[in-house]
Amino acid sequence: QVQLVESGGGLVQAGGSLRLSCAASGRTLSSNAMGWFRQAPGKEREFVAAISRSGTITYYADSVKGRFTISRDNAKSTVYLQMNSPKAEDTAVYYCAARSGLPSLKNDEYDYWGQGTQVTVSS
């Protein structure tokens, strides 16, 4: 069982920065690849970023490349999403997710999900 809790969401000014955190229960994070997804009202949940269990491999959606950075600290059982230069289009509920094995870009391949944290980018 893996429990995930996101934090760090809120209101951010366009062009500013924000860091989301996802804390996992126990010491199980190190055995899981992690992903960040987001869902805007009326839209499908979409992939944002993913990271391998060791942190050596990362993937990003084209829409966030060069602006967002995913990282992890397994000692703290925490995954981060650093959001730099956010845009209005980045406004969404952000979810972290965990799965065994390699990271995936598909939301239905993740087994555990956090409750989500709202990110609102003001213009």
The predicted-structure confidence for 44-69, as pLDDT tens digits, reads as follows 999 999 999 999 999 999 999 999 99
For the cut 70, the answer to whether the pLDDT of residue 30 exceeds it is yes
Q: What is the mean pLDDT of residues 76-88?
A: 96
Question: Cα-Cα-Cα-Cα dihedral of 112, 70, 59, 56, to 10°?
Answer: -100
Q: How many Å apart are CA 122 and CA 95, to the nearest integer?
A: 20
pLDDT-derived band at 27 (thresholds 50, 70, 90) equals: low
Element (H, E) at 55: none
Read off the pLDDT of each residue in 75-102 and give the average, rounded to a whole number: 95
Nearest CA to 94 out of 30, 12, 2 is that of 12
Phi, psi of 29 (to 5 degrees): -60, -35
> Cα–Cα distance between 23 and 72 in angstroms, integer?
10
